[in-house]
Structure 1
Amino acid sequence: MQTKTKNNHIGRKISRIRELRGMKQETLAEELGISQQAVSNIENSEKVDDAKLEEIAKALGVTKEGIENFSEEAILNIIGNTYHVDNSSAVNYGCTFNPLDKLIDAYEENKKLYERLLQAEKDKVDYLEKLVK
């Protein structure tokens, strides 16, 4: 006994593309001007008419053919064949400054500010002493 594969179930493809795009059914429904239940019905449908499929494709940011030819295996193959880690690249994603230098600079600036504040208080005390005499 053979089981029929549901490889060409357009509704499931729409659902999966929507999920991969990080879109909720409500959002897709708003884009299409229909209810969330209507989107659910579309995603459960094996076939969708061409005009509606064009609208859905536009809302999802893909082509109609992209939906029709969508397959999880193809996506995984593309990712597997194009993603690689190259640790030998000259790009440095670390800090471009030494955090300790920044901390020392802040400490020095704070120290100077404190000394100016202290001098201002001394000047104020001197001025008040002159007024009292």
Structure 2
Amino acid sequence: MSTAIKPNHIGRKISRIRELKDMKQEALAQALGTSQQTVSSIENSETIDEERLIEVAKALGVSVEAIKNFTEENMISYFNNFYDNSTSNGMNGIFNPSHCSFNPLDKMMEMVDENRKLYERLVQSEKDKIEYLEKLLKGK
């Protein structure tokens, strides 16, 4: 048996997705109508029956395939495109560049420009205040 091959530990995948969604075990347990100890047991299980997996996927707001195919590498793409997953032409959470509607770097540069403009307005406002106060002091 090769040690290079990782087992498909479904419980760890469920746990990681839950953590990424900033959900506590108690919250998942409540959504499943079960106890926190049961959720802990599920997350420590290497396998899970299909019916329970469907319930867990629904409670987490992801597809069963997304849990089964979950990896750290594709999780960023999956969660960034979460709302597009239902229409991803069967790709089920795998990054699909045709679904990108904007370039993140362009958005970041827009934010930088907006911040620069706001800063310039703030500096101008402070200059105006100083000018006004100087006029008031000269008038006395």
Higher Rg: 1
Given residue 22 of structure 2, which amino acid in structure 1 is its aligned partner?
A: G
Instruction: Report the AA paired with residue 70 of structure 1.
Output: F
Structure 2 portions without partners, runs of 5+: 81-96, 98-102, 135-140
Q: In the TM superposition, what are the counterparts of 1:41-80 in structure 2 within 5 Å? A: 41-75=41-75
Closer, same or farther: CA 43–93 of 1 in aligned 2, 3 Å? same
C-alpha distance after superposition, 1:44-79 (max 9, x if no partner): 111111111111111111100110111223347889
Percent identical among aligned pairs is 48
The alpha-carbon deviation at position 100 of structure 1 amounts to 2.8
Alignment partner of 1:103 is 2:117? no
Distance in structure 2 (CA, Å) of the matches to 1:71 and 1:7: 12
**Structure 1 CA distance for aligned equivalents of residues 3 and 9 of structure 2:** 15
2: CA distance between counterparts of 1:90 and 1:22? 29
Give the Cα–Cα distance (whole angstroms) in 1 for the partners of residues 131 and 26 of structure 2.
56
Task: State the shift of 1:85 in Å.
Answer: 6.8
Q: RMSD over aligned Cα, in angstroms?
A: 3.6
Q: Give distance in 2, aligned partners of 1:62 and 1:19.
A: 13
In the TM superposition, what is the alpha-carbon distance from 1:25 to its structure 2 partner?
A: 1.0
TM-score by length of 1: 0.62
* Alpha-carbon spacing, 1:68–1:90, altered in 2? closer, same or farther (3 Å): closer
What is the TM-score of this pair, normalised by structure 2? 0.59
- 2:115: which partner in 1? 94
Mark the CA change 1:4 to 1:49 in structure 2 (over 3 Å): closer, same or farther.
Answer: farther
Distance 2:9 2:15 in 1: 10
Q: 1:108 to 1:27 in 2, by over 3 A?
A: farther
Q: Higher relative CO (CA 8 A, sep ≥ 6), structure 1 or 2?
A: 1
Aligned mates of 1:90, 1:77 — CA distance in 2:
21
Corresponding pairs, count:
111
In the alignment, what sits opposite 1:10?
A: 10
